[in-house]
Amino acid sequence: MAESTEIKTGVTTTQEKEPLFGKKERILITDPLLDNNPITIQVLGVCSALAVTSLVYPSLVMSVAVVFVCAFSSLFTSLLRNTIPKAVRLIVQLVIIATLVTIVNEALKALNYPIYKQLSVYIGLIITNCIVMGRLEAFAMANKPWRSFLDGLGNGLGYGLILVAVGFVRELFGKGSLFAGSPIEWKIIGPSAEYTINTMSEGLGGTLFGWYANNNLMVLPAAAMFVIAVFIWIQRAWNPKLVDAS
């Protein structure tokens, strides 16, 4: 796979200059969003980050962190790929990832302390998130920097998409609100009088279904599992090619 792409790029460069953002580059970003999603198809990186999905806002911050780490670790690994000895490549990759995660961690601590407290150890656990290292091993070690960067970006976005979607479902049905804890916090369904998640702001006006009682199951960690199972079910029922053969 890697060899064939190298050969192809070699051919195109002799004919004309390769476009910076052509069709192949677009596929690198769009493919991991659905048909090759890191969570629902590749089953990589389910690890830790799901624990933050009970609300949308922390999921969003977590996604941004993962996209940043995934994209830039791919870029740097790809830049260094010809100088890294095979025997110690895992250690080198871990050091690159750990450095980027440390940057994210310190930046978050400085910029938004409440969300830093809320995410607690899970920012640090991006280091052991298999999707980051998986892409480094599978793609960045064998491809040019720009394409590796896009691949990391695409996979980070595919991961973030699921994270935010899970957070959306869990917060909407578990607490009746969206973006609680953020400046644009919005109470959507359920009685507004019981609104006690975060009393800093009252949100935008009244709510849609006053009779709705919050579903406490959605607040439990187990709900993330159920929501992902349903996503997988829908996706594979939609596209039977993705069904497990075993």
Partner 1 sequence: MGEYINIFIKSAFIENMVLAYFLGMCSYLAVSKTLSTAFGLGMAVIFVLGITMPINWLINEYLLVSFELEFLRFIIFIAVIASTVQLVEMVVEKFSPGLYAALGIFLPLITVNCAILGGSLFMVTREYDLGESIAFGLGGGFGWFLAIIAIAAIRERIRYSNVPPALRGLGMAFLLTGLMGVAFLSLTGIDPAVFAGWSGTGE
- By CB under 8 A, name the binding residues for partner 1: 40, 43-51, 90-91, 94-95, 98-99, 101-102, 105-106, 120-121, 124-125, 127-130, 133, 217, 220-226, 228-229, 232-237, 240, 243-244, 246
Q: Give the nearest distance from C-beta 46 to partner 1 in angstroms.
A: 4
Q: Which residue, chain included where needed, has tokens 């992902």?
A: 228
14 versus 246: smaller Cβ distance to partner 1: 246
Q: Give the nearest distance from C-beta 66 to partner 1 in angstroms.
A: 13
The answer to whether the CB of 203 falls within 8 A of the CB of 177 is: yes
204 versus 234: smaller Cβ distance to partner 1: 234
121 versus 193: smaller Cβ distance to partner 1: 121
* Burial class of 190 by CB neighbour count within 10 A (0 to 12, 13 to 18, 19+): buried
34 versus 47: smaller Cβ distance to partner 1: 47
Q: Give the nearest distance from C-beta 245 to partner 1 in angstroms.
A: 9
Tokens standing for residue 122: 């899970």
> CB-based contacts of 167: which residues, under 8 Å, 6+ apart?
52, 53, 54, 55, 56, 57, 58, 59, 60
Beta bridge partners of 178: 186
Q: Give the nearest distance from C-beta 76 to partner 1 in angstroms.
A: 15
44 versus 61: smaller Cβ distance to partner 1: 44
Supply φ then ψ for residue 239, to 5 degrees.
Answer: -125, 90
101 versus 141: smaller Cβ distance to partner 1: 101
In which element (H, E) is residue 186 found? strand 186-187
**3-state percent helix, strand, coil for the chain, nearest multiple of 5:** 65, 0, 35
Angstrom distances, CA of residue 197 to CA of 51, 175, 203, 246:
18, 8, 11, 44
* Burial class of 202 by CB neighbour count within 10 A (0 to 12, 13 to 18, 19+): exposed
Q: Give the nearest distance from C-beta 152 to partner 1 in angstroms.
A: 17
Q: Give the nearest distance from C-beta 97 to partner 1 in angstroms.
A: 8
Q: How far is it, in rounded angstroms, from Cα 47 to Cα 216? A: 23
Q: Give the nearest distance from C-beta 169 to partner 1 in angstroms.
A: 13
4 versus 246: smaller Cβ distance to partner 1: 246
